[in-house]
Amino acid sequence: MSLDDASVNPADRLGKALAGDMAAVNTLIRERMASEHAPRIPEVTAHLVEAGGKRLRPMLTLAAARLCGYDGPYHVHLAATVEFIHTATLLHDDVVDESQRRRGRPTANLLWDNKSSVLVGDYLFARSFQLMTECQNLDVMRILSNASATIAEGEVLQLTAAQDLNTDEGIYLQVVRGKTAALFAAATEVGGVIAGGSEAQVRALADYGDALGIAFQIVDDLLDYGGSDATIGKNTGDDFRERKMTLPVIKAVAKADAEQRAFWSRVIEAGDQKDGDLEQAMALMTGHGALESARQDALSWAARAQKALEPLPAGDLRDMLADLAGYVVARIS
């Protein structure tokens, strides 16, 4: 299944359905990422923002608002806010992870430097808060500011959980809810809030975003051990080389015997990696059913996302959001 086939890709179908709104979002992003005094800001931002990402998170905000009948202007501001928060976290993440590729291109920290990436990320966070205040809605500001804090908390938790074989699935879920699912949930929730959706509808949208974000991250973790470089936008095996305790590794470690645990301790905790270690790690994950178990977890979260949509009005937008959850996990089915 090709990611570029619009006939099967709900993200592309959603993009077409929201084309007018997305054009307004893109215009607003370009306006607000400008800087009269620091030209490096739009240079670094444009490198990532215009790198061909599908703008999934802002599309979720737009779709949620439209699904709840919104016809005002501020869903565009909120969608741009969400994209700025996301881009800021990517700039910071690439510095922390010492990454060299993002969306198939050299990372900003590689092309410029770490200082530029961190400071431009800070600028985008500031811009995001300026944008959200323009909506003059305290609930929206509360949701997005809480999400920003949760994202940072999740990243710090990941630092303490990384390279620690005692990290279990409960801690992993906390990390994923922080660094990934929090922004998905906020993106959908604020769309419902700005539209004046009912409490049940807003809760349903938040639950949908949370479950979709968890499924999305599990799939990303799985693709690192089985996707093509072109599909995942980074080098296959990067998570292993960065010694990350992602879900497939956690599941394999939980079932490891003493000899296997010694292997995991060497490559993850000590960072002593040799030629052939990635292949051995994948063999252990396959042998213990860790990859298949993680795949089933992703499918379960996608199904939970689809079920969460039931209180929302039936129609094409709801169908596309449901299809999107299925498509996220179709890449590893």
Predicted local confidence at residue 110, as pLDDT: 66
Q: What average pLDDT does the structure give for the chain?
A: 89
Predicted local confidence at residue 111, as pLDDT: 64
Predicted local confidence at residue 197, as pLDDT: 96
Paired with 101 in beta bridges are 106
CB atoms within 10 A of CB 133: 14
* 262-293 tens-digit pLDDT: 999 999 999 999 999 999 999 999 999 999 99
Cβ–Cβ < 8 Å for 67, 313? yes
Higher per-residue pLDDT: 47 or 163: 163
Quickly list DSSP for 185-246.
HHHHHHHHHHTT--HHHHHHHHHHHHHHHHHHHHHHHHHTTTS-HHHHSS-TTHHHHTT---
Cβ–Cβ < 8 Å for 67, 317? yes
DSSP run (H or E) holding 62: helix 56-67
* 87-142 tens-digit pLDDT: 888 887 777 766 666 666 777 676 677 887 888 889 889 999 999 999 999 999 99
Quote the DSSP letter at residue 8. Answer: T
Predicted local confidence at residue 2, as pLDDT: 35
Q: How many CA atoms lie within 13 A of 64 on its CB side?
A: 36
* 47-95 tens-digit pLDDT: 777 765 678 999 999 999 999 999 999 999 999 999 999 988 888 777 7
Predicted local confidence at residue 53, as pLDDT: 66
